[in-house]
Amino acid sequence: MATEFGGYMGKVLKINLSDRSVSEYPWTDRDREMYLGGKIMAAKILFDSLASGVRPFAPENLLVVTTGPLTGTGAPMSSRFNISTLSPQTGLIASSNCGGDFGLHLKRAGYDGLVITGKSPGPVWIEIWEDEIKFNDAGDLWGKTTQAAQAMLGGKNGKIVIGPAGENLVKYAGVFSNERTAGRAGAGAVMGSKNLKAVVAGGSRRPLLADESAARKLFKEWSAMLRAHPITGEQLPRLGTAGLVSIMNVRKILATRNFRHGQFNDFEMVSGEMLAEKHLIKNRGCTTCPVQCGRRVEVRGKNVKGPELETLVLLGSNIENNSLERILEWNWLLDELGMDTISAGGTIAFAMELNEKGLWKNGLEFGRTDNLAGIFEDIAYRRGIGADLAEGSRYLSEKYGGKDFAIHSKGLELSAYEPRRAVGQGLGYAVSNRGGCHLNAGYVVLLEGLSMSINPQTTRAKAEMNILFQNLMEAASAAGICLFSLYDFIFPFLLRRPNSLLSRLVNKSMTYLGPSLHVINRLKRSPLPVNLPQLPHPEAVRHVTGMKVDLLALKTIGERGFNLERLINIQRGLTADQDSLPKRLTEEPQDPNDPGTVVPLGKLKKDYYQARGWDSGGRPTEKTLRGLGLTGGK
Amino acid sequence: MVTVRYFGPTRLLSKRSGVRVEAGSIVELLEILAALDQGVTLAALRNSLIFVNGDSIHNLKGFRTKLADGDEVQIFSPMGGG
Ligand code: SF4
């Protein structure tokens, strides 16, 4: 189904592993205009194709791998692809974004996306070379770690693989491409359930751009802008995401001891500064990215990928481990075994507290690290207590108790930010479509203490901020661009002059801007194009595809995507009760002397549902759906 | 004596994690620090996020915040990305 638009390859491939059939998934230009690509395109495919009652590990579950129109065009930060499926952790929609180069190669093979269904009778890997699709026996690859499997597959083509954790259906197994991970929500386990070890794609095709010279010029300017911004040009290249540990500690939002505290005495020992001073070999990141926020470090004489912030926290402060060396080793080990470091760390912390409280005697203790490497292997192979740990926190809390301190939302473990001192982030965790994810949450913590200093305890305007960021992130991701590109939304002067009168005024006044943000959130189009110079995303989409979009149009596509994911979740039985956080975060004050240090979730949720145009049960109203062109069912 | 701890890019520029100095206020402290470290300018320090014993100077008296013996001052840059 060819396309009039630039940037796309115009074809989506559907592969059924049960009967090894291959066909084209119908995807029209109208779909491209409505859903753009990436996670929103995947949500539409899942919405249209998944029968009700399908379980995550059923052959009928789909694994939808998608790119955006900017993927592989040379746009900065555009080596991204998305994997969506029904998550074995949440039973709801999961979308996971990855910076490996698979998406780029998938487009070179001639496809904007892959829709994989069915189940192979035995281990298989798929080879896609332009129009030639081969199903290969994966007997010799099965059991291999993620790097070993990729090395065996060889060549320069794009690859996605799973490790032993995915094969053994560890609920939080990820999908790996080079050293990058689509880590969250268990897409690797779904791949394992289909007996699919790997997909390799390649070819010599290139997307045509609607206005090539304008696009190239813009990409150059955009890269320069990213390099000049304090976050994407200075902090991320210098310290990576790991640089946040210290400021999170002073802001009391550093998840510590299974989210009991927001500060860790030994935070400096597991900080980005320590990583940079003691272990950093060099920066590394995704292809075509001027930021290169990834790290290379040395572990046992090997030059390997270094940990991100989330890993430092979930395997550091949150289990009271102060050994950075251990984290580096575990990060490498978990990648090799093929599982998400966030959910692995969160589950271990919960198990430690269950043990401490005598609810489950398992030998795991806060601060004890000598036994954890073995435990991670046990999880991957489901041996001993690893079989239970492989199911995640929600399952453990149902089996052993401790629901009040099982730190997950909808079944997905929370990431690194302790939200009782950043209540907007707390709201985001609760309403996020994929569960306890900081990014799908809207990442309002950026304003509540990382980049800016708005009041982190007030509920004022937090719902509106969440919605704005969630919608923009959906759109950036659908376009095929890294979410970190949106940090440039924050005007550099606010970061370079945080003590100036103007910055302080902006910080003070932002929580009074709820009504204005609400108007912006509701605005779907305007007679004149609306854009922000620091967010060139719409201009890039315009030059690449030829679609007439401005920032409002992109934001509306993002809003459509968020609501579509919500609809899928509602079809899967989601109710407002599941937009929740454990009682530890909503009823147990972080500071026992300050009852205000909880997430006032009831009030925040009410504001959020109203501002989203959802009813009190958290369902998008008919009017909201009509405004987004989502009425009319499948 | 006041204990100063550097974090983020400032720490990489100053090439040290911290220092102990005598200073009666933040404004005085920043001048001392700028004179002490080649990589860290007064302007950069004045544009940092500064905390005294865990409290932001925005919630104290800003640069006029007084310092007492034993205080810990933490100096950060605004951050993003995670
Ligand atoms: S900022 Fe980091 S995660 Fe994003 S594209 Fe660049 S290297 Fe990849």
CATH for A274:
1.10.569.10
Domain edge (last residue) among A202, A230, A250:
A202
Q: What is the CATH number of domain B2-76?
A: 3.10.20.30
- The boundaries of the domain holding residue A155 are 12-202
Percent of chain A surpassing pLDDT 90: 93
Rounded mean pLDDT of A32-60? 97
pLDDT over threshold 90, residue A311:
yes
Domain edge (last residue) among A395, A413, A431:
A413
Contact (CB<8Å) B78/A451: yes
Confidence of residue B79 (pLDDT cuts 50, 70, 90): confident
Q: Tens digits of per-residue pLDDT, A5-16?
A: 999 999 999 999
A217 contacts: CB under 8 Å, gap ≥ 6: none
Q: Tens digits of per-residue pLDDT, A18-38?
A: 999 999 999 999 999 999 999
- CATH number, residue A561: 1.10.599.10
Q: Do A403 and A447 belong together in one domain?
A: no
Top-confidence residue, A183 or A542:
A542
* Closest C-alpha among A80, A100, A88, A20 to residue A57: A88
pLDDT over threshold 90, residue A398:
yes
Strand partners, B25: B66
Judge whether A354 lies within some domain.
yes
For A533, the token pair is: 């110079």
The preferred substitution site among A70, A102, A227, A286 for testing ligand 1, maximizing ligand atoms within 8 Å of CB, is A286
pLDDT over threshold 70, residue A516:
yes
E strand intervals along A217-315? 280-284, 294-299, 302-305
B28 contacts: CB under 8 Å, gap ≥ 6: B67
Contact (CB<8Å) B58/A504: yes
E strand intervals along A271-413? 280-284, 294-299, 302-305, 408-409, 412-413
| B78 contacts B44 by C-beta, under 8 angstroms | no
pLDDT for A634: 47
Q: Tens digits of per-residue pLDDT, A413-447?
A: 999 999 999 999 999 999 999 999 999 999 999 99
pLDDT for A221: 96
Q: Do A260 and A163 belong together in one domain?
A: no
Torsion sign over Cα A125, A91, A390, A377: positive
Top-confidence residue, A258 or A489:
A258
pLDDT for A510: 95
Rounded mean pLDDT of A235-256? 94
Judge whether A220 lies within some domain.
no
pLDDT for B9: 84
Residues in chain B: 82
Contact (CB<8Å) B80/A497: no
Confidence of residue A299 (pLDDT cuts 50, 70, 90): confident
pLDDT for A591: 97
Confidence of residue A633 (pLDDT cuts 50, 70, 90): low
How many other C-beta atoms lie within 10 A of the C-beta of residue A39? 34
Q: Do A282 and A401 belong together in one domain?
A: yes
* Closest Cα to atom 4 of ligand 1: A482
A485 C-alpha to ligand 1 centroid (Å): 9
Judge whether A362 lies within some domain.
yes
The per-residue pLDDT of chain A, averaged, comes to 96
Q: Do A387 and A465 belong together in one domain?
A: no
| A104 contacts A205 by C-beta, under 8 angstroms | no
Q: Given strand A294-299, what is the order of strands in its sheet? A: A280-284, A294-299, A302-305
Contact (CB<8Å) B47/A499: yes
pLDDT for A301: 84
Calculate the CA dihedral of residues A279, A439, A99, A195 and round it to 10 degrees.
110
pLDDT over threshold 70, residue A76:
yes
pLDDT for A1: 59
How many other C-beta atoms lie within 10 A of the C-beta of residue A593? 6
Residues of A in contact with B56 (CB under 8 A): 453
Nearest to B79 among A247, A438, A484 (CB): A247
Q: Do A183 and A302 belong together in one domain?
A: no
Q: Do A388 and A428 belong together in one domain?
A: no
C-alpha distances in angstroms, A113 versus A12, A15, A178, A545? Answer: 5, 11, 19, 17
Residues of A in contact with B79 (CB under 8 A): 231, 235, 243-244, 247, 450-451
Q: Do A285 and A350 belong together in one domain?
A: yes
> Which atom from ligand 1 is nearest to the alpha carbon of A77?
5
Top-confidence residue, B8 or A16:
A16
Distance between CA A271 and CA A294 in Å, rounded?
15
Contact (CB<8Å) A494/B17: no
Q: Calculate how close chain A gets to B56, using CA atoms only, in Å.
A: 9
Confidence of residue A632 (pLDDT cuts 50, 70, 90): low
The answer to whether A238 faces chain B, any CB pair under 8 Å, is yes
Q: Which contacts of A605-612 are long-range, i.e. CB under 8 A and separated by 24 or more positions?
A: A605/A427, A605/A430, A605/A431, A605/A576, A605/A579, A607/A459, A607/A462, A607/A463, A608/A427, A608/A431, A608/A463, A608/A466, A608/A467, A609/A576, A610/A463, A611/A463, A611/A464, A611/A467, A611/A518, A611/A521, A612/A463, A612/A467, A612/A563
pLDDT for B3: 97
Nearest to A450 among B7, B54, B80 (CB): B80
Judge whether A232 lies within some domain.
no
Judge whether A439 lies within some domain.
yes
Distance between CA A482 and CA A108 in Å, rounded?
20
The answer to whether A246 faces chain B, any CB pair under 8 Å, is yes
Residues of A in contact with B14 (CB under 8 A): none
DSSP string, A205-242: --PPPTTHHHHHHHHHHHHHHHHHSIIIIIIHHHH-GG
Find the residues whose C-beta lies inside 6 A of ligand 1. A 77, 99, 285-286, 289, 291-294, 482, 484
Q: Tens digits of per-residue pLDDT, A267-276?
A: 999 999 999 9
Torsion sign over Cα A282, A184, A263, B30: positive
Distance between CA B80 and CA A232 in Å, rounded?
8
Domain edge (last residue) among A413, A435, A450:
A413
Give domain limits for chain B: 2-76
Q: In the 8-state DSSP scheme, what is residue B80? A: -
Q: Do A177 and A296 belong together in one domain?
A: no
> Which atom from ligand 1 is nearest to the alpha carbon of A232?
1
Interface test with B, best of A231, A253, A273 (most B CBs within 10 A): A273
Task: Determine the residue type at A279.
Answer: H
Distance between CA B56 and CA A368 in Å, rounded?
34
| A94 contacts A186 by C-beta, under 8 angstroms | yes
> Could you give the residue ranges of the DSSP H alpha helices within A357-461?
372-381, 386-389, 393-400, 423-431
How many other C-beta atoms lie within 10 A of the C-beta of residue A580? 17
* Closest C-alpha among A10, A519, A247 to residue B49: A247
Confidence of residue A203 (pLDDT cuts 50, 70, 90): very high
CB-based burial of residue A131 (10 Å sphere; 0-12 exposed, 13-18 middle, 19+ buried)?
exposed
Instruction: For residue A177, give the H/E element and its range.
Output: strand A175-177
pLDDT over threshold 60, residue A520:
yes
For A114, the token pair is: 């892959």
Give the three-class secondary structure for A82. Answer: strand
pLDDT for B37: 80
Judge whether A229 lies within some domain.
no
Residues of B in contact with A417 (CB under 8 A): 82
Percent of chain A surpassing pLDDT 70: 99
* Closest C-alpha among B22, B77, B28, B24 to residue B51: B77
Helices and strands in chain B: count of H runs, count of E runs:
3, 5
pLDDT for B16: 85
Judge whether A484 lies within some domain.
yes
pLDDT over threshold 70, residue A450:
yes
Judge whether A634 lies within some domain.
no
Task: Determine the residue type at A563.
Answer: N
- CATH number, residue A101: 3.60.9.10
Q: How many domains does chain A have?
A: 3
